Structure 1
Amino acid sequence: MSSNSIVARLGVSDTETVEPGRADAHVTEINFIDSYERLDFGLGQALEQLNVLGLVPGERAIDLALVAATVLAADTRISREALAQDGWTREIEICVPVADPTLWQSQSSLLQKTLNFLTGDKWAMQFRSRPPSRDVLVPATENLRTANPDSVCLFSGGLDSFIGALDLFASGSTPLLISHYWDGITSQHQRMCAERMKARFPGSEFNHIRARVGFPKDTVDESPVEDTLRGRSFMFFALAALAADAIGGDVTIHVPENGWISLNVPLDPLRLGSLSTRTTHPFYMARMNDLLGALGVRASLLNRYAFQTKGQMAQGCRDHDFLVAYAKETMSCSSPGKTRFAKDETQRQPKHCGYCVPCLIRRASLLAGEVPDTTPYQLPDLHAHVIDTEKAEGSHIRSFQLAISRLRQKPERARYDIHRPGPLTDHPQSLQAYEGVYVAGLEEVARLLDGVRAEPL
């Protein structure tokens, strides 16, 4: 197995020697200070937007964002196929300068456990003191505070986050929306959805922080980019914590994600590793809350939809008419850019494919939630013809059909299946609720696929 070490640097004067944990590790150094003397790769962008609102986070929250960005660089720029012995598990070390290395080192075991679970890799970490010239990274501000949100809400541009934010505003809350993106498609949908939300609630305080967080493709020498991206939510949560810390006091970070996909029970054994994400799994979120508490960041992650399916979220939306009008502008597809390979030029604009796992769950949820589905799909009609299971458009459909069949043949397996993605030991009193949302989620998709024919052609 090839070992990789990512060393974060704070400017050209940060020249302290860093020895990787393994002598044979491939070392990549990333300078996080740009030519304008601000934090680079989207972190400075987030801080500047908070600054405009008169919101200033503390140094520990900034360190968390720097650690998360270093993790993101490793996760997205170290190829599993090229640099993992088994084609999946990578050995990664991060070396990060922080304000209080003793505190961070004391939490390295917790951080390691959290990241190992999230990405399926073997993580190690080193923490050292910031260089003297960078002992303060909080940007000074002369701006008066103009924002007084009562919470923070993740806003990805997807259907769940749209419903989550909509429910909060419709109930009279004033969350600060937090988004991060790298590609233009995600950015477009985040902006479009936020504009709709702002127009819907003109009397509410509305603020939206958007940061383009990512790294060039050639960040790690001789490594292709990695497209599994299982560590993105760590960056998302860190940005939200940065905002929450700037707000001050005890702040709730809303993580709007349907409970079925949070559990993300694999449809078949092949999905347990590479295709089954854990970005909002209850075990991972509990460890993130432990980390925030240990760092002294007074924020906590909360998923109010932990026991609801996506369809139940849509059905119960507090502003159902608005959801009906604008659900089509949210983005759920795992890879909307793949339409650029379509033979028909008119089909090459980015859109939902209609057949990946997130698209199928989206379609099922809109059906269950009584929301007319006007989303443009590359595969618009699942019933029009027999779908080839030996191609991408049919493989996920067949996986769902098999999972539904197995559960119906043996319903009692649900109580065991819910534990397959990870431990639920933090919520022993909720096992029946988790089982319920898992079964209900599969039944939503079963209704969508009723009469759909998928087989090898």
Structure 2
Amino acid sequence: MRHHSIVGRLGTADTAPITPTRADTHVTEISFIDGFGHVGYGLGQALDQLRDVGLSPSEAAVDLALLAAAITAADTRISRDADAQDAWTREIDLHLPVHDPALWTGLAPLIMTTLNFLTGDHWGVRFRPRIASVPVLAAPPTKLRTATPSSVCLFSGGLDSFIGAIDLLAAGESPLLVSHYWDGITSKHQTYCGEALKRRFPSATIHHIRARVGFPNDVVDDFSVENTLRGRSFLFFALAAMTADAVGGQAVVHVPENGLISLNVPLDPLRLGALSTRTTHPFYMARFEELMRGLGLNVTLHNPYAFQTKGQMAKGCADVGFLQREAKNTMSCSSPAKARWALNEADRQPKHCGHCVPCLIRRAAIKEGWGTDDTEYQIPSLHGRVLDTNRAEGEHVRSFQLALSRLAKKPARAAFDIHRPGPLTDHPSKLTDYEAVYIAGLQEVGRLLQGVQAKPS
């Protein structure tokens, strides 16, 4: 096990001494200002795009994005296998320069609670003043404001966010879409889906902020890479919050995510949190909103589909015909790049695997929504043969089948299961709604898996 400290710097002039909390920590310094004085690692890209439409966020909002970038560096470049005693729980401290260190220090306990819940690690955060030569990171716009969006909407390139944007545009809203990416696969789907919306809604003004935020493989250690990426939604929320803050007023950030994924109820007793990450779990979203209030940001998060399954989202979309035509161009798979290892060269193009948890929920949703699924999957049919549960192709199928079997034997357990991934204390009046969407979501996947066989080889 190895303790890590990520020290954020603002250029070569930022040489303020840092006192680590542990003498045996592995210190990594990352400068978020490049040699040309520009904010790096994709944050400057987002700030430039905002400035191009006449928008500029507060320094508190920029510091939130800087914190998110440091979290991303740690989360994606510190290996759980190599650096955690239990091959999962890492110990990470962040040391960052901010505009108002007293404000941020007061929020440190909340930040640590939020991050510990989101990623399953042990986090520490320490804040210090920015150096005098860098008092401002968000330069004022040099152009007149051309963006007057009614709200901000997360736009990942996935099916849920595509539905969310369609519904907003069909209702006459003008959302400002916010995306982040690192790999070319994600970028391709985000770009295509954004352009498809512009073609479908030509009279609407659709601005799209896209930032390529990521870090070289060796930024922390030589070729240390982590693929669980539990902290990615902190970056997503922070970029959206920075954008919403720049828009001004009482800004709403739409977080389109189906209720089954949001709840993150484990599929079997040994896999707590295995259904998905906690990216939009109600407890996490409430803590992030609390953080934004503490920073003085007048921004709220809203998931309009918190109590809908993905199939209900698809069926209830304001433009089902358009969604049906374009759904194949959205990306839901947790690891589409895994296709590059296919034995058959023709199968090496990135595509949905068809058997991971997000793919199974997607397949079930399309079946519910309109029946015909023209998405390309590595496994075109789940019914063609017996799926091997000792391999990835059958692992999650079997987990869903076990969860459905347990629920059928004891339906009352759902009222308790929904609390296993995390507290729902922020929404005590909605417990029956969470229970209902959990049951409905599982049953939706159950209808997809009728007749599917999965067992060990």
1:158 corresponds to: 158
User: What CA distance in whole angstroms lies between the structure 2 residues aligned with 1:82 and 1:274?
Assistant: 21
Match of 1:168 in 2: 168
- The corresponding residue for 1:367 is 367
Q: Residue in 1 aligned with 2:287? A: 287
**Which letter maps to 2:226?**
E
Q: Secondary structure at the match of 2:133?
A: helix
1:60 maps to 60
* In structure 1, C-alpha distance between the alignment counterparts of 2:43 and 2:371, rounded to whole Å: 37
CA distance in 1, matches of 2:380, 2:398: 17
Q: Is 2:257–2:280's contact at 8 Å kept on the other side of the alignment?
A: yes
What is the rounded CA distance, in whole Å, between the counterparts of 1:204 and 1:274 in structure 2? 39
Contact 1:50 1:56 in 2 (8 A): yes
CA distance 1:130–1:59, shift in 2 (3 Å): same
Letter matched to residue 77 of structure 1: R
Q: CA deviation at 1:138?
A: 1.2
Q: Contact conserved, 1:314 with 1:371, CA < 8 A, in 2?
A: no
Name 2:324's counterpart in structure 1: 324
**Structure 1 match to 2:86:** 86
Q: Answer yes or no: is the 8 Å Cα contact 2:11–2:35 preserved in 1.
A: no
Other structure's SS at 1:27 match: strand
Mapping for residues 261-300 of structure 1, pairs under 5 Å:
261-273=261-273, 276-300=276-300
Q: CA contact under 8 A between 1:180 and 1:213: conserved in structure 2?
A: yes
Q: Amino acid of the residue matched to residue 42 of structure 1?
A: G
Q: TM-score scaled to structure 2, two decimals?
A: 0.99
**8 A Cα contact 1:88 1:274, kept in partner:** no
Question: Structure 1 residue 132 and structure 2 residue 140: aligned?
Answer: no
Give the superposition deviation at 1:222: 4.5
Identity %: 64
Instruction: List aligned pairs for 1:2-13, cutoff 5 A.
Output: 2-13=2-13
Where in structure 1 do 4 or more consecutive aligned residues deviate above 3 Å?
Answer: 273-276
Amino acid at match of 1:434: Y
CA apart distance, 1:36: 2.5
Tell me what 1:146 maps to: 146
Instruction: Give the residue type in structure 2 aligned to 1:44.
Output: G
Gaps of 5+ in 1: none
Alignment CA distance shift 1:86-1:275 (3 Å): farther
After superposition, what is the alpha-carbon deviation per residue over 1:153-180, rounded to whole angstroms, capped at 9, x for unaligned?
Answer: 0000000000000000000000000000
- The corresponding residue for 1:417 is 417
Output the amino acid matched with 2:182: W
Task: Give the whole-Å Cα distance in 2 for the aligned partners of 1:327 and 1:141.
Answer: 37
- Cα distance in 1 for partners of 2:205, 2:371 equals 28
> In 2, distance between residues paired with 1:371 and 1:249?
42
Gaps of 5+ in 2: none
Deviations 1:420-439 (A, max 9, x none): 00000000000000000000
CA distance in 2, matches of 1:270, 1:336: 25
Stretch of structure 1 that moved more, 268-277 or 308-317: 268-277
Secondary structure at the residue paired with 1:432?
helix
Q: Does 1:342 align with 2:342?
A: yes
1:378 maps to 378
How many pairs are equivalent?
A: 457
* Amino acid across the alignment from 1:144: L
Shift of 1:24: 1.0
Q: CA RMSD in A?
A: 0.9
**Structure 2 counterpart of 1:456:** 456
Q: Which moved more, 1:364-373 or 1:52-61?
A: 364-373
- Specify the SS of the correspondent of 2:97: strand
Query: 2:184 is aligned with what amino acid?
Result: G
- Cα gap change, 1:213 to 1:371, in 2 (>3 Å): farther
The secondary structure found in structure 2 opposite 1:203 is: coil
CA–CA distance in 2 between the matches of 1:304 and 1:332?
Answer: 19
Determine if contact 1:7/1:94 at 8 Å carries over to the other structure. yes
The superposition leaves residues 293-352 of structure 1 with CA deviations (integer Å, 9 ceiling, x where unpaired) of: 010011011101000000000010011111111011000001111111111111110000
The Cα shift of 1:2 comes to 1.8
Q: Closer, same or farther in 2 for the Cα pair 1:100/1:149, shift >3 Å?
A: same
Which amino acid in the other structure matches residue 403 of structure 2? A
Deviation per CA, 1:178-224: give whole Å up to 9, x if none.
00000000000000000100111110111000000000000112462
Task: Tell me the SS of whatever aligns to 1:269.
Answer: coil
Distance 2:368 2:204 in 1: 30
Mapping for residues 187-198 of structure 1, pairs under 5 Å: 187-198=187-198
